[in-house]
Structure 1
Amino acid sequence: MHRAIKIFTVAGIPVKVHWTFIFMPLLIWYMAWVYHLNTTQTMWVSSAITVMLICILLHEFGHALAARKLNVSTSDILLLPIGGLARLENLPSKAIHELWIAIAGPAVNVLIALITIPYLVLVTAPRIASVEFLTPELILTDFDFLPPFIFAMNLGLAAFNLLPAFPMDGGRVVRALLAIRMGRYRATKIAAAIGQLIAVAMFAYGLLSWKIPYIFIAAFIFIAAQRERFWIWRQHLLSNKISDVFLLPESGEAELPIQQSGEFKLNPVQGAVSSEQPEIPSGWESIDYHSTLEVAVSRLYETKMPALLVKEEEQALGLISLDLIEEWLSTSQPRFYFLPSFNT
């Protein structure tokens, strides 16, 4: 996703396109060559693809603007050959908010489809009635048939995105509804499993019918669902308090000791830190021993400090760094199956 080109900014949200879009003119030329399209037909196809990309972009802005309304920022919108992504900076705190954000995109497509209905009734319907035989060749030479394409394409986009294949919109709706009852961590595991099952079925269908787009979309869904599951697992672990994970001299048990005076002391079973006060570098930021690891990570990124001084009631206990937290996370790696398990 790093190889993306920023094309413009709307409402403070950067819009980027994936580098593979440089092949789009080549794809259109290939279609024109294979299907023997004339200049007018090639222009019709080019217009249809352009309109589809605009509708996908509006779909993503539906997500982004709904998120903004609910105090969730969007890093950027990325257009891909297989769709688009509104990349939110963080998940909404409430499951019901995720539900509204998820359905906002398909709602935009339904709205666009509804807007085209008057044109279909007043222009397209009489045009179709005046034609004895409606052929693909005729459609691709008459721009009166572009609005029907817009209507059908937007309804198709809305329906496709509402498939319960997490992390697509329908899958996020499923997760939001489940999270209301069981919490986001378990809800994500279940939604990801459902999404990956659908991805496997889609991949098999694409392979058997030799429909390449389905294969690529299935692979994207499967990998994205696994990444979402990994990310929510990481957030779940980071919700632990520093005091739940790192050892104090009198506690006698923990998974890793606190780093002290720049020295990492590790015991596989029980860690221990010296009771002596560490040498405290001047100007270093401090964090409470009972803060969460998520807060610690956020503070480390914000301050750009190599470590934070861990304190409890103004007593310095040691230093905690990103490397230390990452090392603890690496010892808590989840077991990954072909499909995620449903158990917690």
Structure 2
Amino acid sequence: MSLMIDLVKPDGGAARRPYGRMLTGAALVIVLAVFPLVMSPFANLQVTLTLVYAVAILGLDILVGWTGQVSLGQSAFFGIGAYGVAVCADRGWPVWAGLLFGVVLAGVVGCLVAVPAARLRGYALGMITLTLPVVAVPLAKRLEVVTGGAQGLNVTIAEAPEWTGLAADQWHYYVVAAGAALVFALAAALRRSHFGRAFDAVRVDEALATAQGVHVTRYKVLAFTLSAVYGGFAGVLYVVAVQFISPETLILTLSISLLAGLAIGGLRSLLGCVLGAAFYVVVPNVTGEVSAGQSYLLYGVCLLAVMLLMPRGVAPALDRVVRNVAGRRGRAVAPGD
């Protein structure tokens, strides 16, 4: 009888875990759905921007975390997608056409850069991608007829339908949240596919990956292009959130901040992308309220503290805590079985 009990109990626990995850996921969806209805417009904007930058960091993670490459050009693809949809909206194109144009344009530029850059790695690849935002900012300022020059473009896009009864900030939140959920789900599926395994093989050892039949250059080009597409899509969502784009959006500082956000959240982690984006959006506001004159200094101290205390990122640290708690509970229950 005791043997039967021992055999049944693990199965029951295994059966309960999926239900627990489903309930947790359902509760999270409900919270996120209700959030914009009860919060201020400023809070809604902060969460919306967090989702926007989470998509951009996820694109960077595909290249850096999954494939082991280096990129300092994500802000350029972010700006290309943003300008693509903004220019189309400024000329009266449908929203879906502008979205498609911005994402495809970012992907094409990313592919064109990736073909020669895929044969490089490390610092050489980093230097190639470094030129993207350096060139993109003055180019956006010079193409004043198209981009609005240094003043940028104010656009009206993705307005809330009257039948929803929602304010602009609430509707933009839902649009961005739906877009972010879609691309995060696609990334999760990609991670589990043979493409994800090929990316891992390239990251671990390119020579071994080649010996196993993985076309290293092809997958590096694919990873770079996907990273650019995600960056472009994040730029599109950014315009939906703020209804504005300027050359300052393409600056190198954004690329560095996104890379820092990836390191803070944790590589190869979907949750880490969200946590890194939240750090980038929320912490400067908090440090600015503490001391406006020393905001950047306090932000740097917070960044340094997180990296020293959690060198692998926040998401892996949280995962270790959850595993330790679950392990202790398991050991506490075991003697009474």
TM-score range, shorter-chain basis?
under 0.3
Q: Whose strand proportion is higher, 1 or 2?
A: 1
TM-score, length basis structure 2? 0.23
Task: Give 1 or 2 for the bigger CA radius of gyration.
Answer: 1
TM-score, length basis structure 1? 0.23
